[in-house]
Chains A and B, each alone.
Chain A
Amino acid sequence: MFKLSRKTITSLFLVAFLVLLVHFFSPFFKNSAQGTLKPHLVLINLIKRELSGMIFYHRNMMDSGRLRYENENLRRRLFDLREVEQENLRLKNLLNFKQRSPYRLVPARVIARSPDSWSSSVIIDKGRYSGIRRGMAVVNTQGLIGRVAETSVSLSKVLLINDPSQGVSSIVQSSRQEGLVNGSLGSNLIMRYLPDEAQIAPGDTIITSELSQVYPKGLLVGTVINVGKEFSGLSRYAMVKPAAELSSVEEVLVIIP
């Protein structure tokens, strides 16, 4: 017969009590730990940025020249596009299109990254005080970044789109084919549940779909780099390169609906 000594039973009760205690008190500890470490993380982030500015001076100088040239070109294009925009507005008014209200964007800076290798998340320096709430979409100028997973008063945790627990309802911009873009911890994303006859090819642009409950429609997710068949043979999948550089994201914009 399997017998347990009094000491073992006491130890097991103690362990169970500790587990409950940890689970109950961890949210309180989370807030105070985040609050304590925030100023240090901000300072280290600042030093890191300044140091990398000095170390990569030449590369930054070349980038600056290239960006200035690109900026001039874009300014010219913007001027042309303004004309198109005006025309579009006039036509929309003529067709009585309901104007969608513009989103409010809250800019934030990334101050820390995920402490382990099994999740892909960043911590930003804005929280509930700035109007950020759980579930809000996060973008940068390149494209979709992720969604807010947790908020405190002055910090928020953002789950990046390459986290394995993330799924973004998306469509292929050209063919309007729907699919689910999943993160995989790697540098690329996987678009799943594509039917065999789906019109999708390398180079196609993937944007968020209106079926998504979290992300607004039309946000740029990435570009298809490879299309393959699922192991089951019933559907296809596509490897998607994220539009945003997720491993080195520094500034983000939180979309407040």
Chain B
Amino acid sequence: MKKLLVFICPLVLAIIQLSWPPALSVFNVKPDLLFAFSVSLVFYLDFRIILAAAVFSGLLKDAFLPQALAVNTLLFAVWSYLAYRICSQVSTENNYIRASVVLILALLNNAATGVYLIKTGSIIPAGIFLRSLVLASLYTVLAAPLMFKLIKKISA
């Protein structure tokens, strides 16, 4: 049941993320709930489940993006592994430390996505690049405490 819930949650979060009301977007930026969920899993569950859920969340996100390459599937798996390694080195008992880990990884994820888009020929002005990078990461971290509570309930 626990494993099933770990895979049902990304489906629900994908629906929320896809129908996120424009009124709640800040400068066209919305929180990445799927990313917050897949990274937050690291603090509570076994690595094999984490990796599978991260790949599933990435696939779900890629399914609704116009890019041909499944970038998020690969990135989510990498960030989950990185978060797992960080957790094995640093104590992540406190929610503030967990949120900091999510923030660092969200910044890395957004930077990687932005650089990938620029490398594929998209023209993004520097100001908008920085705005999207910082705001999207901060907005994602705001959703992280909710993810911690949700996953804590699932893992209990």
Contact = CB atoms under 8 A, between A and B. Distances in A.
Given A22-B59, A23-B70, A41-B15, A115 B34 contact: yes
B5 interface: no
A150 B120 CA distance: 18
A34 B113 contact: no
Interface stretch (A57-65, A137-145, A178-186, A220-228): A178-186
Contacts of B74: 19, 22
Given A118-B110, A164-B117, A186 B70 contact: no
Interface in A101-136: 111-121, 123
B97 interface: no
Interface in B115-152: 117, 120-125, 128, 132, 135-136
B99 interface: no
Interface residues of B, number: 46
A13 B34 CA distance: 27
Nearest to B21: A48
Interface in A136-176: 149-150, 157, 159, 163-165
A17 interface: no
A74 interface: no
Nearest to B81: A15
Contacts of B18: 37, 41, 112-113, 115, 123
Nearest to B70: A26
B60 interface: yes
Interface string A225-256: 00000000000000000000001100000000
A41 B66 CA distance: 18
A36 B110 CA distance: 27
22 contacts: A26-B73, A30-B63, A33-B59, A34-B64, A45-B19, A113-B22, A114-B64, A115-B61, A115-B65, A118-B113, A118-B114, A118-B132, A121-B65, A121-B66, A123-B64, A163-B66, A184-B125, A185-B124, A186-B27, A186-B125, A190-B125, A247-B25
Given A26-B62, A26-B70, 12 more contacts: A29-B59, A34-B63, A36-B11, A37-B14, A37-B18, A115-B14, A117-B32, A123-B64, A163-B66, A165-B120, A185-B28, A190-B125
